[in-house]
Structure 1
């Protein structure tokens, strides 16, 4: 259960409704609950939505890759809501459970290697 009220469309201010409409275009008619929580601060809702639109816009990195990044960050941050949301996103991009397990295994490997390197205080370039 959310610690913040989820602002439903029927109770939203005009400003929030305008932002909700932009969000629903990105999500093909769907309004994720995270935006309903953001709406408790309409200025933040608008700001984060604009930022997401800029970052997620097609540029050099495709949407499929950005979804993998979002999923791995969600796992590393232990955000249950985010993990579920981005697992659905991966599946929309055609990833099956085997592929998602491979992504998890790859992230786990590099997390382990990073922790080893931190403990060993390895630097770049290599010392000889």
Structure 2
């Protein structure tokens, strides 16, 4: 159960409704999920979160399916059932197959295991992995 109300459209402030209307227009759907409806209790947080999500998940160097799969992987690592389910649904809409989902689960599980082993054993990072980024290496500073 949510800590704050899951607001219906007619229960939202004008500021929240403006953001919700933008979500509908951007996504070309009438469906507004519970995440946005809960955030509508704080119109500033709703607006800030929507603007950031729209920018990060929008067009860029990483294709939309890969972005959704990364979101699923991080959501699994963070234990967020809501985000696992909503972004798995989004990834499926973007073409993720069941085989890809199962492979993603395997990668997340393996990364979690080896991360814990490296942390628990305090494995020192190899110098070769500590190289500067190409942009930093070419800086005139």
Give the structure-1-normalised TM-score.
0.90
In structure 2, C-alpha distance between the alignment counterparts of 1:57 and 1:80, rounded to whole Å: 23
Match of 1:46, SS state, is helix
Q: For structure 1, which segment, 36-45 or 87-96, has the greater mean C-alpha deviation from structure 2 after superposition? A: 87-96
- Contact persistence 2:65–2:91 (CA under 8 A): yes
Deviations 1:62-116 (A, max 9, x none): 2111101110111111111111111111210111222101100011111111111
In structure 1, C-alpha distance between the alignment counterparts of 2:120 and 2:40, rounded to whole Å: 42
How many residue pairs get aligned? The number is: 127
Give the alignment's Cα RMSD to 1 decimal.
1.6
2:60 aligned residue = 59
In structure 1, C-alpha distance between the alignment counterparts of 2:28 and 2:74, rounded to whole Å: 24
2:5 aligned residue = 5
- Contact persistence 2:12–2:41 (CA under 8 A): no
2:131 aligned residue = none
Q: For structure 1, which segment, 68-77 or 24-33, has the greater mean C-alpha deviation from structure 2 after superposition? A: 24-33
Q: For structure 1, which segment, 115-124 or 38-47, has the greater mean C-alpha deviation from structure 2 after superposition? A: 115-124
Structure 2 residue runs of 5 or longer lacking an equivalent are 129-141
In structure 2, C-alpha distance between the alignment counterparts of 1:72 and 1:102, rounded to whole Å: 11
In structure 1, C-alpha distance between the alignment counterparts of 2:25 and 2:42, rounded to whole Å: 21
Larger Rg: 2
Give the structure-2-normalised TM-score.
0.83
